[in-house]
Amino acid sequence: MANLRLTMATYDYDHVRDLASGEIRPQGIDLTSMCFRVEEIFYRFANTFEWDVSELSFAKYCSMMSYDEPPITGIPVFVSRVFRHSAFYIRRGGGVTRPEDLAGKRVGIPEWTQTATVYARGLMVHQFGIPLTDIDWIQAGVDQPGRVEMADITLPDGVRYTQVQDRTLTEMLLAGELDAVISAHPPHAFLDGNPDMIRLFPSFREEESKYFKETGIYPIMHTIAIKRSVFDENPWIAMNLLTAFEEAKQQSIERLSGVTASRIPMPWIYDDFDHLRDEMFAGDYWPYGIEPNRTTIDAFLQYCHEQGVCRRRLQPEDLYPREVQTVFRV
C-alpha cells in the first residue's frame, strides 16, 4: 500500500524542523512541508485551505470549530505559546501605571479575533476585574494603517468598538488619543527606543511566572489544523501526525538543552532549561495533548465565548477528534 501524500505549512520552528525536513516521517504519510511567515499561513489556509495540514492561530481554529459543520479538524499540537502580560504598551506619563487604571480608557487592538488579544482581554476581565464594556476598543494596524479584521466578528452586547483605517495604534498612543495598545509584537517605536512608549508590566516575566503559578494557564497561540475532508477519508493520520510532532519536539529539546556545545548564543540558557523543567512545568514545559493543557484550553474557550469569537461555548473535547483524545498504553 502506497503512502498517503499530504502537504503541510508551518513556520520554521526548531521543535518542528525534524518533521518538516523529512528526518522524521509520519508512518504511512509522504509529507511535503512548506515554511512561511505565520501571517501568510493563516491567511492562505483560513481562506482557501491550500494545504492538507496547516498551522493555524488558536483563536481562528476555535472559532471555526464552533461552526455547525467545521471545515477543519486538527491535532492537539501547540507549536507556539506566549504569555501576554508583555503585550500591553502604554504612554509614559499618560495616567496609566497599573492594570486597574485601564478601566474606562481607550485601548487599541490590531484585531478583535487575534489570539494574543483574546488572551489579553481575558486577563483584563478575569485578573484585572475590568469588564469588556468598560473599555473603548479601537482597531487599527500597530505600525501600518489599513489593517482590517481577518474574520467576521460578533461583538458582545454593550461593547464599544471602532475601526480606524487611516492611523496606526502607535501614532494614536503617542499622540495621547489612546491610553494603551495590545500588540503581540513590540511596536516599532518601542523597539527603536522611543522613551514615551513603555510596557505596562516592565517586569513582565515575574508577572507571567506568578500568573502561571496561580492559574496554571500557559497561553496557547497556534495549533495544527487538518482539512476535514482529508481527515474524514483517512482518520488514522491524526494520531500518526501527533506522534511525529511529539518525536520532533523531543529531539529539539534534547538538542537545545545539551551542554556539550552552545547551540543557542545566549549565556545561562541551559540553567533556564533546568529551572523551567524542574521548578515550573513539572518535567514537560511544552506539552501536547488535551489533558496536560486542559486548564489553558478551557480558560481560552471561556474567553472566546465571552468575547464573541466562538458561536457557542465549546469544551476541550470539542476541538479535536476522538482518535487523539486518548493515548495507547501497554
**pTM of whole model > 0.85?**
yes
Same CATH fold assignment for domains 4-82+219-324 and 85-215: yes
Place domain 85-215 in its CATH homologous superfamily: Periplasmic binding protein-like II (3.40.190.10)
For 14, counting Cβ atoms within 10 Å of its Cβ (0-12 exposed, 13-18 middle, 19+ buried), the class is: middle
Dist. CA 181–CA 312, nearest whole Å? 28
Place domain 4-82+219-324 in its CATH homologous superfamily: Periplasmic binding protein-like II (3.40.190.10)
Q: What is the pLDDT of residue 330?
A: 43
Cell reading at 244: 511525529
Q: What is the pLDDT of residue 327?
A: 67
**Domain chopping of the chain, boundaries:** 4-82+219-324, 85-215
Mean pLDDT in runs of 10 for the chain (330 residues)? 94 97 97 96 95 98 96 98 97 96 97 96 97 98 91 90 97 98 96 97 95 95 98 98 97 81 75 74 85 96 97 97 77
- How, if at all, do strands 220-227 and 72-81 pair? antiparallel
Cell reading at 87: 503585550
